[in-house]
Chain A
């Protein structure tokens, strides 16, 4: 009887399968169309990086503009490697990223470990809530926070400096203190986020391991080093890979709004992303902007793959893919 049922159903099974796949395709469709329109079509626009992009006066649509612009080969890239401007922005992007990946890792792992040691759950929850809060604010709001402290005429710091008889610093004109200001802003806004990720990994560790270690006489410190840290290593690796993949990218909002778009600060605040933006909207050099984006993409891709391979060599389970 079951056999007969199977054979009777066989032809309609293929049909059902096809129907199911079609329905599932219809579910993917809205997202896929979006991806094509807003992600894949612009990828063809990368050719701008190899062209001297100009408006085609007769019919200035995007495609016409591209077709009628001259090929210039790698000239747009030459700029990226020859001028001091580009050296500054590449140095800033990589420098800040490396510094923040390192600092962020150490601080947020340390905070997560500390939060885990707090016996009063209510206090731990309160710490967690407060330190996660700035993550939900936009950079515009943060830029106002920074301005409240640094504004040349009203700000708290200039007034304190005056009261203490210190030499006044024009914060929005002097690039020197900005690495510190940006680092503090970034740490305050993002530490809570990664702390919570690590904390979640720590709370997921099997408690019996600690009990066993305690019975064997391991101190709490030893337990952290020999149980907690090895257990959260995969999490550290994943976040590290993802961050290294973005080493050529920067948080546009931070670098654009917090220094209030101030020109004299560019030596320490210009990054590739802010350059890409300014190249389009301030200087109108589409080609160079596209070249910088492309370089950013390729380097990011290489870094991501590289970091992933290295992690896989060291510890296969920790790698991302």
Chain B
């Protein structure tokens, strides 16, 4: 009896702890508002998933619908049968993302490490040299012509990697990360012990700066994975295009998907007439978003920490 009375007292004290919190109804309202916005953010994706599993007949009759009359795996069957181009593009996207990210991170770490070193004689110059390009640039026309004619970026993988190799914003993030996590004394101590500059960077600094490097690597990887613009500018060859650009092409005609099909011939023409156009497009979207959706919960944390570090002070 006494015990339960105490419990009630304790409960009351706990409720009073809300003193410096908003009232419960207010919190419910807040949750409803935020929940509604979150729903709006994910509903389009769910809608596209539903469409990709809808049979073509049902789309023809009722249009896209959240509750399809008839479910079907048609679209995915087609993708797995005739989707050579899709797998090719999958490979391209992974190839570009992995190679590009590795190179970008290396360049970024080297550049920002030098900018972080206060005893580097030309530090101010190279800081300006990099950040000035955020404020001023040549514009699309000269950049396009220089890349294509001078650097030969046309119809090759490097056309989709080289133009995105360096991002001044990521250099800011990386440099800020070094500044906040690496004490200068550590580098001085390493130098006194006879460690070379590269040795200090890769053996001592890099292990400490791992979270920062992970952030920058993720930002670069996302940029490479989501890029379609460079492919649109420089690449015509269907065997080299990445997923995002494939998706852009199929918006006009789904036939593009069959470009690299191994079953070219009479069979394809027959298949073409049965192509589940609409659900097939949406199935492509689903297949492209899935890698991101799967990895997202894991990399979210790093991105958040990186963005907050990078934007607090440029």
Q: Measured between alpha carbons, how far is A277 from B313 in the docked complex, in Å? A: 32
User: Which residues 265-297 of B have a CB within 8 angstroms of A?
Assistant: 278, 281-282, 285, 288-289, 292-293, 296-297
Interface residue range, chain A:
35 or more
Partner of A38, one of B38, B41, B163: B163
The 6 A-B residue pairs with the shortest CB-CB distance, nearest first, are A45-B142, A293-B139, A42-B138, A145-B44, A31-B111, A130-B38
Can you list 19 A-B contacts (CB < 8 A)? A24-B197, A31-B166, A41-B146, A43-B137, A127-B38, A130-B41, A136-B292, A149-B64, A154-B278, A156-B64, A156-B65, A156-B66, A238-B313, A238-B314, A286-B145, A297-B137, A297-B139, A304-B135, A321-B314
Tell me if B251 and A260 are in contact (CB < 8 A): yes
* Interface set of B (CB-CB < 8 Å, partner A): 18-22, 26-27, 30-31, 33-35, 37-42, 44-45, 47-48, 51, 59, 62-66, 106-108, 110-111, 113-115, 117, 119-122, 126, 129-130, 133, 135-147, 149-151, 162-163, 165-166, 171, 196-198, 201, 222, 226-229, 244-245, 247-248, 251, 278, 281-282, 285, 288-289, 292-293, 296-297, 300, 304, 307-308, 311-314
Q: Give chain A nearest CB distance to B307 CB in angstroms.
A: 6
Tell me if A290 and B139 are in contact (CB < 8 A): yes
Tell me if B296 and A136 are in contact (CB < 8 A): yes
Chain B residue with minimal CB distance to A138? B226
Known: A45-B146, A235-B312. 20 other contacts (CB 8 A): A31-B110, A34-B107, A38-B166, A42-B142, A43-B137, A43-B142, A45-B142, A61-B149, A114-B30, A127-B31, A141-B288, A145-B45, A196-B304, A197-B307, A238-B313, A239-B311, A279-B141, A286-B145, A290-B141, A301-B136
Tell me if A127 and B107 are in contact (CB < 8 A): no
Set of chain A residues within 8 Å of B151, measured between Cβ atoms? 37-38
**Number of A-B pairs, beta carbon distance below 8 Å:** 279
Tell me if B35 and A127 are in contact (CB < 8 A): yes
Q: Measured between alpha carbons, how far is A138 from B313 in the docked complex, in Å? A: 27
Contact A46/B139 with A111-B34, A144-B281 known, Cβ cut-off 8 Å: yes
Tell me if B31 and A123 are in contact (CB < 8 A): yes
Tell me if A111 and B308 are in contact (CB < 8 A): no
Tell me if A159 and B65 are in contact (CB < 8 A): yes
Q: Give chain A nearest CB distance to B182 CB in angstroms.
A: 15
Tell me if B145 and A62 are in contact (CB < 8 A): yes
Main secondary structure of the interface of A (DSSP, over half): helix
Set of chain A residues within 8 Å of B293, measured between Cβ atoms? 133
Contact A117/B22 with A286-B141, A290-B142 known, Cβ cut-off 8 Å: yes
Tell me if A46 and B142 are in contact (CB < 8 A): yes
Is A252 close to B, CB under 8 A? yes
Q: Measured between alpha carbons, how far is A277 from B122 in the docked complex, in Å? A: 37
User: Which residues 15-44 of A have a CB within 8 angstroms of B?
Assistant: 20-21, 23-25, 27-28, 30-32, 34-35, 37-44
Q: Measured between alpha carbons, how far is A239 from B307 in the docked complex, in Å? A: 12
Partner of A24, one of B47, B117, B282: B117
User: Which residues 207-239 of A have a CB within 8 angstroms of B?
Assistant: 210-211, 214, 220, 223, 235, 238-239
Is A245 close to B, CB under 8 A? yes
